[in-house]
Amino acid sequence: MVVRYVHGGGYPLWPLRTPEGVNCTSEGRTPIAVERPHPHTRVTRTVANTVIDSIGVGAFPIGVAITPDGTCVYVTNYYGHSVSVIEIATNIVLVTIRVGISPVGVAITPDGTHAYVTNQNGHSVSVIEIATNIVVDTIGVGSSPVGVAITPDGSHAYVTNQFDNSVSVIATATNTVADIIAIGAEPWGVAIAPDGTHAYIISPFGNSVINTTTGTLTTTPIGAGRSPVGVAITPDGALAYVTNYYGNSVSVIYTVTGDVTTTPLGIGEYPVGVAITPDGALAYVTNWGSNSVSVIAIDQSTVLTGHRSTTSAP
């Protein structure tokens, strides 16, 4: 594995609120990272790992999601209580959508029809219809929802409720809460396995795996480093990449056994958000403390020392 850095000003991710903050387009060439406290979104091109644009959005942008067709980016603005919609072809904000109080996480259904937005201080999830960019539903969930992930078949959205120590499972067909699953303390990050069979819940106080068929916790332990918060799964479902906030590292975990594959990868300071390109070649990690984005070249057989390169922006 090779770790590289794209460095710059601002804060790429807000650590106390969300495991979101970086995502990749469907073709894998354009990662998007948010910058705070400045109201901008950085666009990074994967081939050269250089920043190609900085786009003004709302106040304190946090979560990022990209439509499956790769045409638009949805960015949650925490203090703006809104979502900015960016057209990728032009890097222009098309519309700003008012949602609930303090939006954090955002996830888009695989068919690209709806976006689900967690409103941390509104204790709710806003549902945006992509075709019209209108909020068509608001769903009450637990206390302080932050993370959100949608199953590959689009049937359910999993929402982590940070201060309820639970996960709300939303049936997307009816936009109702189908289940509430008790979990470890202060769950933050959530990712769904590519085959939809398991949901991986990450918390600084302990990680959990949910069997999505039964709604029960599995006995497979998920190790990680110090204060894990973010998680992403490789497209083949074999590995989980977990950011360790106070460990300044990323743990790589075998999903079948829960074992950590290697010594955690040292990256920037206070890493939180993580996303993996669709081809499984690269992982992008936002480092809140060092105002940077680390790029990890995924190679299951070799770990190489990383190097740092800088540009004018994250």
**Per-residue pLDDT band at 271 (split at 50, 70, 90):** confident
More confident residue, 208 or 125: 125
Residue 314 pLDDT: 34
Share of the chain above pLDDT 90, in %: 42
More confident residue, 152 or 255: 152
Report d(CA 51, CA 45) in Å as an integer.
7
Give every CB contact of residue 200 below 8 A, 6+ residues apart in sequence. Answer: 189, 190, 191, 192, 193, 207, 208, 209, 210, 222, 231, 233, 240, 255
Report d(CA 257, CA 255) in Å as an integer.
6
Report d(CA 84, CA 72) in Å as an integer.
10
Give yes or no for residue 313 having a pLDDT over 90.
no
Domains of the chain (ranges; CATH) run 2-297 (2.130.10.10)
Mean pLDDT value across residues 277-289: 80
Least confident of 73-87, 141-155, 266-280: 266-280
Give yes or no for residue 3 having a pLDDT over 70.
no
Residue 45 pLDDT: 57
Give 91-100 pLDDT, tens digit per residue.
899 999 999 9
Residue (of 95, 96, 80, 73) closest to 22 by Cα position: 73
Give every CB contact of residue 109 below 8 A, 6+ residues apart in sequence. Answer: 115, 116, 150, 154, 172
Residue 267 pLDDT: 79
Residue 214 pLDDT: 95
User: Which of 36-45, 207-216, 257-266 is predicted most confidently?
Assistant: 207-216
Residue 308 pLDDT: 37
Residue 306 pLDDT: 36
More confident residue, 16 or 89: 89
- Cβ contact 10:314 at 8 Å: yes
More confident residue, 280 or 136: 136
More confident residue, 12 or 21: 21
Give yes or no for residue 57 having a pLDDT over 60.
yes
Least confident of 23-27, 40-44, 106-110, 301-305: 301-305
Q: Enter the tokens of residue 288.
A: 């809140």
C-alpha separations of 66 from 22, 71, 73, 264 in Å: 10, 8, 5, 28
Mean pLDDT value across residues 148-177: 98
Mean pLDDT of the chain: 81
